[in-house]
Structure formats: structure tokens, C-alpha cells
A and B are shown apart, each in its own frame.
Chain A
Amino acid sequence: MNGSAGLLAPPVGLAGSRVHRLGAEILLDEHVSWCPEGVRRRQPVNAYLIRGEGGAVLVDTGVRRHEAEVLQQLDELLDPGEPITILLTRTEMECCLNVPAIEARRPVDAVWYTGGITVPRSTAPARRVSVEPGTSLDVELRPGVVLQLVSPLLRLLPTLWVYDPPSGVLLTSDAFTYARGDGEAGDPMEGLVKFRWFGGADTRPIARDVLRVIGSRRVTAIGPGYGFPFVGEAECRREAARLAACLEEVGGR
């Protein structure tokens, strides 16, 4: 591993040496599609590295604007030439566009994805995984690294939340994206900008699904694709309840 000197942005530990949050911050304003009206502040866009005995899994890859930061952070956390497996929670651009740059730097043994026609990559094999919404699937992505791929009802495109049983970390892709990181409780409504369809739908099952996913697991931290994480079992349960309440509120019956 390299020293930390000269890092554009250091990786942030989320669960000991097991889970790290990578990426950097953007200016969240009207130039960003998921920005709530009138908001202007810094927001992290995240990728997560899960390290087990059998190797490392990178969940999402950050935005291309942060390509240099993500590559440096991987160098900091991994040995030179150490292979990784990439898992994309959605095939949206903020998740997948750094795959080719990562492949150019180190071996990528597979890119797991949920659909959406093609995935940008150079040579790594693409592996499609399809999980029925409302269910989950345990997949051993590297030897000894078994992750639960949860298919939430809170979604737009085919989406995976990723639960890591040893650490209790739940990575939630485009949900739970509202934490501000300034000590203020964020507003869960702010994270629903891209789910306008909820306004025409019965959202009660979606709210129940959020409560069930978190209530049925020991969730020690929630790591969203953008925004700050929530840490602590009590805090995670509380945020699930707050988000579920907002989901019920926005729903058209």
C-alpha cells in the first residue's frame, strides 16, 4: 500500500478495515438531476470497497469527475495489481463510468450488473444478476465474500442494495441519500426527487419493504450512493422509520 501523502481525498472507513467509502464531493445544485429544489451544498458521491479474506469487492465506481480520486483511493487500500470484483447497484452513469479506468489500472475479474442493456468495460466479463423486487439473493462475489443482494421496491431502474453480514453495513444505492453531514438531520423527502412516480402510486408496500429490509437485519450503517452515511443500529432503524413515513406521505392512493 502507498502512504496517504498527496491523496486528493482519503478513503473513509465505514466499518473498521472491512468497508471503506470512496469518491469525493460534488456541488449539489440545479445542475444535478437529483438535487431538491432550492438546495445548494456539497454532497459526496460514493463508491464502497468491501474487503474480505478472499479479496475485495467494489460496489459502484463513483462519477467520472472523481476518476482520479477513486483510482488513488483504490491504490491506497489495495496492493498493486490486486484484483477486484465490481458490483454495480444500478447501470446509471454515476455508478458505472469509471469501470474502464479501473480496469486499466488493476485486474477486474467480473463486473456484476442488474440489466440496462450494456455496461461500459474493456475486457472484464459482465455478469448479469436479476433479483425479484422485494426479495434478496446471497452471492459469493469472491471466495469467502458473500453479500446479500437485496432488490428493493424503492427503485426506478433495476436496483440492488448490498448487505454485508459480517459488518452489518447496508449499501443503499439511490435511497437514503439525504444525510447532510453537518449534524443536522436531513429531510428524507429530499431523497425522493428521482422517484416522482410515487406520487401516482400506492406507496404503502414500498414503505413496508424499507422497514422490513432494515428491521430483519442487524444494520450497523447505511451507505448511500450519494449523501453521507448513517452509522449506528439505532440511527439506521430511526432513519428507516423516517423514510418510510415520507414514502407513505408522498403516495397517491
Chain B
Amino acid sequence: MTNDDGARRPAGQARAGGRMSADDDAARRPAGQARAGGRVENLDAARRIADGVFWLGGCLSAFSAGEEVHYHVSSYLVVGSRASLLVDTGDPAHRALVLDQLEAALGGRTLDYVFPTHPEIPHAGNLPALLERFPEARVVGDVRDYALHFPEFEGRFDARRPGDSIDLGGREFRFLPAHIRDLENTVWGHDSGARMLFVSDGFSFIHDVPLPDGDDDEPVHRPGQCRLFSGEMPAPPSVEQAAYGTGRALYWTKFVDVSTAFAEIERMLAELPTELIGPAHGNVIDDVGGMLATSLAAHRRVYDDARKQ
């Protein structure tokens, strides 16, 4: 526990397990656009990852064992011949970056739909900026609560339930139940054009870095490894690494056997051909089968370890 951050703790009153840290602007700023060793040349631009699909957003940085590490806060733009849809809004720390990336990726077209997968800051925090920039854009998905959070945009929220779809022109965007989630009002999506599944807070893994300091629960990568596919990383995540992120970020998975959720995911993938998985905070997954196996093993380990305690 650090105690030099101005909040004086009466001596002897901290109980076991408590921890405070001076997290702040320095430790959690938007990460610099590191390029050394990275394969993505221009991180200021969206990365085109398939026909009509762009990977937007940036990284936030933190420190792990004294080393700088990054984690993605990602958005994905899907462009059809008729309409365009943005999955997640990115973090307000990246507002200008996301708007610029979006403008360039759209190439003069407008944004028709914004689909925040759930109402948390890194997923929906840029809604006001997006709705101002694109006055015709509609917000779609599980839109409960948004009128409380963004009352000035009431009237632009359209409920879409799992099973609903939007014809983007030459490709269909389907809304799906979120089998791995934190908030209950989370929705996943699937783009038939690129055969890509968007999984919000699911499937975000640690690659090739030491496990982060205790306070950090975000999946991290090294500077220079930003916006890479899982197959472009030096090594796939170990079960241990995946388990770490899983147990920290999704607290409940320590207590719940996820076998049923994974059976549902398998069924979904059998119905909807999927070659890419886009998590909000991890690398885009291009080895779907391998990653499912790692993830399931990780969830089992988290659950078993919690039961041993």
C-alpha cells in the first residue's frame, strides 16, 4: 500500500488485503504512439483488418513491475454498401483520436449507427462527441439507461435485442447475447461480411508480459505491440496469463462454472461462421479455435482455484 498520496491513513487501521495506490494522470494516461518493433506503422490511423472492418482506438498505459505496459481500448467500424456501424465508442481519453480515425476510415461517408456494447466509460463514454459529430447517427443495442446518462440525446436511442440484425448493405450485423460479460445489459455482435464476432469485455488476454501489479486488472501488452492480431504477437497467451486477466476483470467467473456459457458460445460459432474475434481490450483474435480452448481452460482454472481457497 502506498501512503504518500495525500490521503493519510490512521496508523494500524488498514486491514489485511487493503491497498491504495496513487494512480493518476501519470500512470494512466493515453499511451504514446510507440512504434518500435510493432507491425502497425501508423497508430494514429484506424487499422483496416478485413474488407470493410477497421480497428480504432488507442492504448492506455500503466506500470507492471516497473515496466510500462499497455492495454487496448478499442472500437470497431463496420462499413457496408448501405450503412456504417461503430462497435463501442472508445475511451474519452482517446476522443480526438477516435474521431480522427473514424473520419478517415469513413472516407467521406457518414456514421449511421453507434453500438455501445454496454454503458461503461470505455465502451460508451464518447457517445456525446460521436452524436454531435454525426447528427444523423442512431444509438443501437441494449439502450436502457442511456436516457439517464445522456438526456440531451433522448430520442436517438433504438433498442436492438439479441437476435435482431441490421442490413448494412452486402453484410448483416447481428446482435447477440453476451455469454461472458460484466454488466447484465451487455450485447455482443457479429458481422457476416468479415465473419467477425465482437465480444466486448470477453476474450481479452495478456500476451507476453509479466503479470501486472496487483492493482491492475486490464489485459496488457508491451509498448510496440499495439493493435496486433493474436497471431502477430510473439507467443499466444498461456492459460495462466489468460486466467489472470479473466479472474481479475470478471470477478464472478471465480464463483461460476462457465461450461454452460462456453457451450452456448460453441453453438453460436457453429451457426455464425467466425474467423475473427474483436474484444474491446485485447488483441484481435485470428486463431478462434485455439483461443477458445485457452479461454475455457483459463476460466476452469480460475473457478477451480477459487474453490480450493
Which residues 2-40 of B sit at the A interface, judged by CB distance below 8 A? 5-10, 13-25, 28
Expressed in whole angstroms, the Cα–Cα distance for A80 and B28 within the complex equals 32
Instruction: Indicate with 1 or 0, residue by residue over A189-233, a CB within 8 angstroms of chain B CB atoms.
Output: 000011011001110000000000000000000000000000000
Give chain B's interface residue range (CB within 8 Å of chain A). 35 or more
Find A26's partner among B16, B148, B214, B217 (CB 8 Å cutoff): B148
Q: Is the CB of B22 within 8 A of A194?
A: no
Q: How long is the Cα–Cα vector from A140 to B9 in the complex, in angstroms?
A: 6
Given contacts A91-B120, A137-B15, A117 and B7 within 8 Å (CB-CB): no
Q: How many residues of A contact B (CB 8 A)?
A: 53
B251 touches A126 (CB 8 A): no
Which among B13, B17, B149, B185 is the interface contact of A132 at CB below 8 angstroms? B17
Complex Cα distance, B145 from A91, in Å, reads 15
Given A33-B142, A33-B184, A135-B16: A118 touches B93 (CB 8 Å cut-off)? yes
A129 part of interface (Cβ distance < 8 Å): yes
The verdict on A197 contacting B255 (CB below 8 Å), with A97-B149, A118-B93, A120-B92 known, is: yes
Residues of B within 8 A of A140 (CB): 7-10
A91-B125 Cα distance, complex, nearest whole Å? 12
Question: What's the nearest-Cβ distance from chain B to residue A60, in Å?
Answer: 14
Question: Within 8 Å CB of B268, what residues of A?
Answer: none
B87 CB-CB contact with A under 8 Å: no
Interface string of A161-177 (1 = CB under 8 A from B): 00000000000000000
Q: Are B184 and A193 in contact (CB under 8 A)?
A: yes
If A138-B13, A194-B184 touch, does A93 touch B255 (CB 8 Å cutoff)? no
| Residue contacts A-B, CB under 8 angstroms, 16 given | A92-B119, A112-B7, A116-B121, A117-B28, A127-B6, A127-B7, A127-B24, A128-B21, A130-B18, A130-B215, A132-B16, A135-B16, A137-B15, A137-B19, A140-B9, A193-B184
